[in-house]
A = this chain, B = another copy of it.
């Protein structure tokens, strides 16, 4: 059996190697358009940032063997051709036209696998190509940026796009002592998480010295006077932004032209359409990785979330089916994570915005807390958001940001969501507990309990964004802060009233019954206790501010003392 695999980065080598393992007699050929095979593209920001210095790590196995043509031949038993581009599929005759060094050739196949990956999206105003304006996907682009940084001529970098790679590159460039500006078209960076969490992350990035411009569209590039191969600035709807290097990381699009031209079915999002077997609309052609659309396990909709982790899993599934072993890819829950210096941003499932768009009656809570008992060294806060379906209680999404151990909690949530667990199921999970690892009630469990309280009506709560908006709209809200006088003296919302939780009973007459009360503390655990005491005394317009002051994202806003 002849198996031909097109694409040599993630899914492609996985498919080819696994097919060969399952069917040692198969003739497996892998073709790759570029020079490098099986490179760790996700590692580029860490190479550029100087986290490791040997760039060959990106193209080597952990024991230092280059993943080159001889490696794939001797170790994996594959025929590999680099610098070879597939330009046409003849499905009827089961062959693919490839071009290498200007030479065209037809390669025949019994089974074909497409792992053509994704193309970085370039904003339309970029008509010319400039030396110092680049996307970041290939080893060559990484080399170019690294060289530019080493040359000492790059101090001021503009990153267009505030997604995962944008903020990862902001970290990398900060580590290289650059001045960094992120330019984002939307009103928040990191649109993969909901507003309060993205605002908190923005505050952190700004504290680290990164400049962030949101609601800012790129309209063009300004050429360096006397040097038309270089841009000196970005033109935006909000003016000119100068940069020695301009990085375009506004997302990627599936490379599906080859499949489309061959008449294979393409999804609405532009990715190749595949079954759970990773079969395309042609039963002899499979596809996997960044070139395909995925099933979202929660909504059942097609989504496009290209990630190396998914590519590897899909590659394995495709290979098994090619080899005649039935295996199904169940889809994804859109889990993701990125690191920015000491801050983690992790998410899984749907955001609240996505959940509502998908037609769910979504209930959400914001919960903050330390990731270990307060007496343990290394303890750091986690800011979470949980989203569930009001009707079934099923978990729809979890996001966590902060200096604490966020991804651990989000991975549990991803598993729970994949299993269709409710908030109450999550609250009763038996997670590992010891003080170096978590509080006795893990952050995710506490957050799930808070969500249960909201779902069953025990807790009436409100997000800081809503409180802020109502205050800005001039509503007369009684802001009740139930922390200690010492905590209050350090920082408090302007116009707020202090009644420590332990004094609520004796000082209840200070709290008006005839206006809306919003109560909170540092985390809003004490705020919740206070709300219950007030409710018991006949206050019927009391809301707990979710996440407490730790999650108040308007650090530069009107309401901080």
On A, residues with C-beta under 8 Å from B are: 10, 21-22, 24-25, 40, 42-43, 46-47, 51-52, 54, 57-58, 62-63, 65, 70-71, 74-77, 164, 168, 297, 307-313, 316-317, 325, 327, 329-339, 344, 346-348, 370, 373-377, 405, 407-408, 410-412, 414-416, 418-421, 424-425, 427-437, 440-442, 445, 449, 456, 458, 483-484, 487, 501-503, 505, 522, 526, 529, 532-533, 535-536
A316 to B526, CA, bound (A): 17
Are B435 and A429 in contact (CB-based, < 8 A)? no
Are A74 and B411 in contact (CB-based, < 8 A)? no
Are A46 and B376 in contact (CB-based, < 8 A)? yes
Option from B57, B428, B445 in Cβ contact (under 8 Å) with A329: B428
A43 to B440, CA, bound (A): 10
Are A522 and B373 in contact (CB-based, < 8 A)? no
Given contacts A309-B431, A335-B433, A408-B411, 5 further A-B contacts (CB under 8 A): A46-B375, A62-B370, A75-B529, A309-B433, A415-B415
Option from B338, B375, B427 in Cβ contact (under 8 Å) with A40: B375
Copies in the complex: 2
Are B445 and A431 in contact (CB-based, < 8 A)? no
Option from B52, B316, B414 in Cβ contact (under 8 Å) with A449: B316
A332 to B431, CA, bound (A): 9
Are A414 and B440 in contact (CB-based, < 8 A)? no
A464 to B422, CA, bound (A): 41
Are B430 and A348 in contact (CB-based, < 8 A)? yes
Option from B416, B449, B456, B483 in Cβ contact (under 8 Å) with A415: B416
Q: Knowing A25-B536, A411-B408, A522-B63 touch, does A74 contact B339 (C-beta < 8 A)? A: no
Specify which chain B residues have a CB less than 8 angstroms from the CB of A535 in the assembled complex.
24
A405 to B436, CA, bound (A): 12
Specify which chain B residues have a CB less than 8 angstroms from the CB of A338 in the assembled complex.
434
Are B308 and A430 in contact (CB-based, < 8 A)? no
How distant is A143 from chain B, measured CB to nearest CB, in Å? Answer: 15
Specify which chain B residues have a CB less than 8 angstroms from the CB of A335 in the assembled complex.
430-433
Specify which chain B residues have a CB less than 8 angstroms from the CB of A76 in the assembled complex.
529
How distant is A285 from chain B, measured CB to nearest CB, in Å? Answer: 22
A77 to B501, CA, bound (A): 11
28 CB < 8 A contacts A-B: A21-B529, A24-B535, A40-B373, A42-B435, A51-B376, A52-B377, A62-B374, A63-B483, A63-B487, A63-B522, A65-B484, A74-B501, A75-B529, A309-B430, A309-B440, A313-B445, A327-B424, A333-B430, A336-B433, A339-B436, A339-B437, A344-B437, A405-B408, A411-B431, A412-B414, A414-B432, A415-B419, A418-B419
A251 to B77, CA, bound (A): 54
Are A310 and B430 in contact (CB-based, < 8 A)? yes
How distant is A14 from chain B, measured CB to nearest CB, in Å? Answer: 9
Specify which chain B residues have a CB less than 8 angstroms from the CB of A297 in the assembled complex.
430
Nearest B-chain residue to A535, judged by Cβ? B24
Are B43 and A435 in contact (CB-based, < 8 A)? yes
A370 to B75, CA, bound (A): 21
Specify which chain B residues have a CB less than 8 angstroms from the CB of A410 in the assembled complex.
432
Nearest B-chain residue to A338, judged by Cβ? B434
Specify which chain B residues have a CB less than 8 angstroms from the CB of A313 in the assembled complex.
427-428, 441, 445
Specify which chain B residues have a CB less than 8 angstroms from the CB of A57 in the assembled complex.
374-375
Nearest B-chain residue to A40, judged by Cβ? B373
A416 to B418, CA, bound (A): 9
Are B71 and A502 in contact (CB-based, < 8 A)? yes
Specify which chain B residues have a CB less than 8 angstroms from the CB of A373 in the assembled complex.
40, 42-43
Option from B46, B52, B419, B533 in Cβ contact (under 8 Å) with A421: B419
Q: Knowing A52-B377, A316-B449 touch, does A407 contact B75 (C-beta < 8 A)? A: no
How distant is A278 from chain B, measured CB to nearest CB, in Å? Answer: 12
Nearest B-chain residue to A64, judged by Cβ? B484
Q: Knowing A40-B375, A374-B57 touch, does A430 contact B332 (C-beta < 8 A)? A: yes
Are B75 and A42 in contact (CB-based, < 8 A)? no
Specify which chain B residues have a CB less than 8 angstroms from the CB of A503 in the assembled complex.
74
Are A376 and B52 in contact (CB-based, < 8 A)? yes
Specify which chain B residues have a CB less than 8 angstroms from the CB of A483 in the assembled complex.
63
A164 to B377, CA, bound (A): 20
Are B164 and A434 in contact (CB-based, < 8 A)? yes
Interface centre among A168, A307, A437 (most CB of B within 10 A): A437
A432 to B408, CA, bound (A): 9
Are A433 and B307 in contact (CB-based, < 8 A)? yes
A-B residue pairs, 10 tightest by C-beta: A419-B419, A24-B536, A337-B432, A309-B433, A57-B375, A62-B374, A74-B502, A415-B415, A308-B440, A339-B436
Specify which chain B residues have a CB less than 8 angstroms from the CB of A339 in the assembled complex.
434, 436-437
Specify which chain B residues have a CB less than 8 angstroms from the CB of A429 in the assembled complex.
414-415, 418
